[in-house]
């Protein structure tokens, strides 16, 4: 009788896990089980031709449901030979999207949902100003500015 109870508990738990997985599958629209486990990566570039400077934004998304994201900002091309994130020279935002706008002269204002991991020795000719979005109202203002073309978005293409 005790063994039968254990078997039923294990069976019920296993069934619950399968149901949760398929509920996520249906809710988030996972295209295939294979793609669910593969990370997605995208690269977006901002060029400042008058400064001869390029900023690279590497967007990564991973996890079963694609609910883990990061955006790395670097002055080096992530597609380059042997490039690897370096906490001493690259910014890292742990979010799925950031927004930016240009401000003269050569200033890039970046809006994000959370403070980035700031490097000790980020070297760029472009001045970076980082601002955290604290409220839903601020997010709505940024979204409105995005629609008006005043602000740009960096994140996986929807």
List the domain boundaries for the chain.
2-30, 35-155
Tracing tokens 């400064």 back to the chain, one arrives at: 51
Mean pLDDT of 121-134: 93
**pLDDT band for position 23 (cuts 50, 70, 90):** confident
Beta strands across the sheet bearing 53-62? 40-48, 53-62, 68-74, 91-93
Q: What is the pLDDT of residues 59-114, one digit of tens each?
A: 998 877 677 899 999 999 898 887 889 999 999 999 999 999 998 888 999 999 98
The answer on pLDDT for 119 being more than 90 is yes
In the chain, what's the furthest Cα-to-Cα distance? 79
Residue 3 has pLDDT above 70, yes or no: yes
Q: What confidence score (pLDDT) does residue 29 get?
A: 61
For residues 37 and 41, which has the higher predicted lDDT (pLDDT)? 41
Residue pair 86/119 in contact by the 8 Å Cβ criterion? yes
What average pLDDT does the chain have?
86
């Amino acid at each position: 009788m005790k063994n039968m109870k254990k078997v039923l508990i294990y069976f019920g738990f296993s069934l619950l896990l399968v149901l949760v997985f398929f509920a996520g599958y249906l809710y988030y629209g996972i295209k295939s089980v294979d793609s669910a486990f593969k990370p997605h990566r995208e690269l977006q570039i901002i060029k400042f031709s008058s400064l001869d400077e390029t900023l690279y934004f590497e967007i990564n998304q991973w996890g079963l449901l694609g609910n883990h994201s990061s955006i790395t900002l670097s002055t080096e091309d992530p597609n380059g030979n042997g490039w690897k994130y370096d906490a001493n020279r690259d910014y890292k935002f742990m979010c799925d999207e950031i927004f930016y706008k240009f401000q003269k002269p050569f200033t890039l204002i970046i809006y994000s949902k959370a403070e980035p991991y700031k490097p000790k020795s980020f070297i760029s000719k472009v001045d970076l100003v980082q601002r955290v979005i604290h409220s839903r109202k601020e997010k709505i203002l940024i979204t409105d500015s995005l629609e008006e073309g005043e602000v740009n978005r960096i994140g996986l293409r929807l």
